[in-house]
């Protein structure tokens, strides 16, 4: 099963008394190991998406054999293509054209990956190296002005080995999201422009297509075996109502 909805956590308040604590949606999207070009640093294990009242969070977990430390394999890019639901107005071109402010550029990082049925937002992330920090950048697409960065570069949290991963977050509002709204997406691993996908989250158990370093391109909407993942923003839990119920319970216990 690809998607796992994790249960709401519980807080122990006393012997035998539990209260559900505030928890938000968390979904794990799995990918087969070894279905990639290149080394383990570009082999996706799974991607975890969650949200709170203000932000959306992505964690890209990699093959356990990877070492993405700043003196090891830190050259890969980890990218997220987002299609709003309903779609429309997104980039449909897939090419190695680089640059922002250019409607012809299929990808602001210049990689030959995309979603031909329309890609409205793009997140490009990179790892920290010996002399610089990693970061994640959010872009939106406009048919008139092309890709444009939204806000500042966000920090990333990196786990180098054993459970290697990179994580980042952006405001829900920056991606046009609110409680109950949904979007489709794919996650790609790649290197410099104009290379395409070395691995893709939504293509399970199959290779990512033509060699990404020799002119190949990757279209998440049409490549065999690919089905775009979907995430729905979970509303903030009604924690005050739960606390109110707990107060009534305590009042009844005192009167007993």
Whole-number average pLDDT of the chain: 85
pLDDT tens for 40-77 read 999 999 999 999 999 999 999 999 999 999 999 999 99
Return the pLDDT at 54. 94
- Split at pLDDT 50, 70, 90, the class of 36 is very high
Instruction: Give me the residue spans of the domains in the chain.
Output: 24-236
pLDDT tens for 124-164 read 999 999 999 999 999 999 999 999 999 999 999 999 999 99
- Split at pLDDT 50, 70, 90, the class of 211 is confident
pLDDT tens for 70-97 read 999 999 999 999 999 877 789 999 999 9
Domain 24-236: which CATH number of 3.40.109, 2.60.120, 2.60.40, 1.10.3470: 2.60.40
3-state secondary structure the chain: CCEEECCCCEEEEECCEEEECCCCCEEEEECCCCCCCCCHHHCEEEEEEEECCCEEEEEEEECCCCCCCCCCCCCCEEEEEEEECCCCCCECCCCCCCCCCCCCCCCCCCCCEECCCCECEEEEEECCECCECCEEEEEEEECCCEEEECCCCECCEEECCCCCEEEEEEEHHHHCCCCCCEEEEEEEEECCCCCCCCEECCECCCCCCCCCCCCCCEECCCCCCECCEEEECCCCCCHHHHHHHHHHHHHHHHHC
């Amino acid at each position: 099963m690809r998607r796992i909805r994790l249960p709401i956590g519980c807080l122990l308040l006393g012997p035998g008394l539990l209260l559900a604590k505030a928890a938000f949606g968390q979904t794990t999207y799995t990918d087969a190991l070894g279905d990639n070009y290149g080394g383990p640093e570009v082999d996706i294990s799974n991607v975890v998406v969650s949200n709170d009242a203000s932000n959306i969070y992505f964690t890209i977990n990699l093959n356990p054999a990877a070492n993405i430390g700043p003196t090891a394999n830190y050259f890969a890019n980890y990218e997220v293509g987002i299609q709003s639901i309903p779609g429309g107005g997104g980039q449909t071109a897939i090419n190695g054209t680089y640059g922002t402010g250019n409607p012809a550029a299929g990808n602001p990082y210049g990689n030959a990956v995309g979603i031909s049925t329309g890609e409205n937002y793009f997140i490009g992330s990179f790892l920290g190296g010996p002399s610089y920090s990693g970061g994640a950048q959010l872009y939106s697409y406009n048919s008139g002005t092309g890709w444009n960065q939204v806000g500042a570069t966000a920090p990333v949290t990196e786990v180098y080995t054993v459970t290697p991963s990179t994580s980042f977050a952006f405001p829900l509002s920056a991606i046009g999201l609110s409680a109950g709204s949904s979007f489709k997406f794919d996650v790609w691993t790649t290197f410099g422009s104009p290379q395409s996908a070395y691995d893709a989250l939504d293509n399970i158990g199959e290779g990512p297509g033509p060699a990404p370093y020799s002119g190949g391109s990757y279209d998440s909407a049409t490549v065999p075996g690919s089905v775009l993942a979907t995430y729905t923003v979970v509303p903030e839990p009604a924690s005050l109502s739960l606390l109110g119920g707990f107060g009534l319970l305590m009042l009844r216990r005192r009167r007993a």
